[in-house]
């Protein structure tokens, strides 16, 4: 069993990005600029966005954090997005999800300029990804593909089972792993909450990507020996003995599954750090395109 160290790989990627940014600046050009919009005071979102801002500084990006009240109207939020769309000093931006219930997330995502959509959620970019065209790939699936490549994990001809069908992880990773090329060429099955006899699929999987959001859902009896496990789940589970009052759990029962896995991502420290690294990579791509 080999642990896939997302933290180490993400730091490698950040260093590679920093070298490129240093080159951009040394040529007399401004550095890439990433903006983040956050609505309300959700603790997890604030922590995540804070990590993005720190990572920008680490690689030499400029960053802007726009904090808006949870009471903001949908129209006012779209006005703010339009300002970012037309600001030539901003290369890319994200709107942190989830949004308050009175705001339609689809309307917000559609209002983002696809050329600045470094989250890769706009239908234009999603369609380009499906057609294997250069575009912004959603950061978490992008990070998973990079981990598979850098650990030289064989995917061609393998059976990959994706647990979950969200537009953020499940659907895009199923497309990417089925596409031609490195870390692709896999035969993909997508299972979800309505799948009957789900275990019959996971037991025959060479690779499992779990993005379900149910702590320790995948048990040892659900996988075969030699399986590759990519655990995307990240759930706060109450634990009075922990300093913060909670612990972070993945979708996979790590302790029971690790003895059967050939490769496995831990939680935390696996896929999570890669998400921010690939967001930075998308922003650098946006900077190159706009330039």
| Domain boundary assignment for the chain | 28-113, 139-272
> Alpha helices of the chain — where are they, by DSSP H?
6-26, 43-59, 74-85, 105-111, 123-130, 139-150, 170-178, 198-202, 254-257, 272-290
In angstroms, the CA 100 to CA 165 distance is 22
**Residues 52, 116, 249, 281: which is the catalytic one?**
52
At the top level of CATH, which class does the domain 28-113 belong to? alpha beta
Instruction: Let me know: does 267 contact 255? Beta carbons within 8 Å.
Output: no
Query: What is residue 245's predicted lDDT score, i.e. its pLDDT?
Result: 85
Q: For residue 155, what are the contacts with CB-CB under 8 A and spacing of at least 6?
A: 148, 177, 183, 184, 185, 186, 207
Query: What is residue 92's predicted lDDT score, i.e. its pLDDT?
Result: 96
Query: What is residue 240's predicted lDDT score, i.e. its pLDDT?
Result: 82
Phi, psi of 37 (to 5 degrees): -110, 125
In angstroms, the CA 125 to CA 131 distance is 10
**Residues 119, 206, 231, 253: which is the catalytic one?**
119
Instruction: Let me know: does 32 contact 61? Beta carbons within 8 Å.
Output: yes
Query: What is residue 108's predicted lDDT score, i.e. its pLDDT?
Result: 97
Same CATH fold assignment for domains 28-113 and 139-272? yes
pLDDT digits (tens, 9 = 90+) for 247-269: 899 999 999 999 999 999 999 99
> Which CATH number fits the domain 139-272, given the four candidates 3.30.70.20, 3.30.1360.150, 3.40.309.10, 3.40.50.720?
3.40.50.720
In angstroms, the CA 60 to CA 85 distance is 22
Q: Mark whether 96 is an active-site residue.
A: yes
CA distances from 51 to 28, 234, 256 (A): 28, 16, 31
In angstroms, the CA 58 to CA 214 distance is 33
**Residues 14, 91, 96, 249: which is the catalytic one?**
96
Query: What is residue 176's predicted lDDT score, i.e. its pLDDT?
Result: 98
Partner residues linked to 191 by β-bridges: 163
Partner residues linked to 162 by β-bridges: 190, 209
Q: Mark whether 249 is an active-site residue.
A: no
pLDDT in tens, the chain (291 residues): 999 999 999 999 999 999 999 999 999 999 999 999 999 987 777 777 888 889 999 999 999 999 999 999 999 999 999 999 999 999 999 999 889 999 999 999 999 999 999 999 999 999 999 999 999 999 999 999 999 999 999 999 999 999 999 999 999 999 999 999 999 999 999 999 999 999 999 999 999 999 999 999 999 999 999 999 999 999 988 888 888 888 899 999 999 999 999 999 999 999 999 999 999 999 999 998 877
In angstroms, the CA 47 to CA 64 distance is 15
Q: Mark whether 7 is an active-site residue.
A: no
């Amino acid at each position: 069993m080999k642990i896939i160290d997302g933290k180490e790989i993400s730091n490698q990627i950040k260093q590679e990005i920093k070298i490129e940014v240093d080159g951009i600046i040394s040529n007399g050009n401004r550095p890439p600029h990433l903006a983040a919009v956050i609505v309300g005071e959700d603790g997890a979102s604030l922590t995540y966005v804070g990590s993005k801002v720190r990572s920008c500084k680490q690689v030499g990006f400029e960053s802007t954090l726009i904090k808006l009240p949870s009471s903001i109207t949908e129209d006012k939020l779209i006005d703010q997005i339009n300002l970012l769309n037309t600001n030539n000093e901003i290369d890319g931006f994200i709107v942190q999800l989830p949004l308050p219930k009175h705001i339609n997330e689809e309307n917000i995502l559609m209002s983002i300029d696809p050329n600045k959509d470094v989250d890769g959620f706009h239908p234009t970019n999603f369609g380009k990804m499906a057609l294997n065209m250069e575009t912004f790939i959603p950061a978490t699936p992008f990070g998973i593909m990079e981990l598979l490549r850098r650990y030289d994990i064989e995917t061609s001809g393998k059976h990959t089972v994706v647990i979950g069908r969200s537009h953020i992880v499940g659907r895009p990773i199923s497309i990417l792993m089925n596409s031609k090329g490195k870390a692709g060429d896999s035969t993909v099955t997508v299972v979800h909450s309505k799948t009957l006899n789900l275990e019959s699929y996971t037991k025959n999987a060479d690779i499992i990507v779990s993005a379900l959001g149910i702590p320790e859902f995948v048990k040892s009896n659900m996988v075969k020996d030699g399986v590759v496990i990519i655990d995307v789940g990240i759930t706060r589970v109450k634990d009075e003995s922990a300093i913060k009052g909670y612990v972070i759990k993945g979708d996979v029962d790590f302790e029971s599954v690790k003895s059967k896995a050939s490769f496995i991502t831990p939680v935390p420290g696996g896929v999570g750090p890669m998400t921010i690294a690939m967001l930075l990579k998308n922003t650098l791509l946006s900077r190159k395109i706009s330039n």
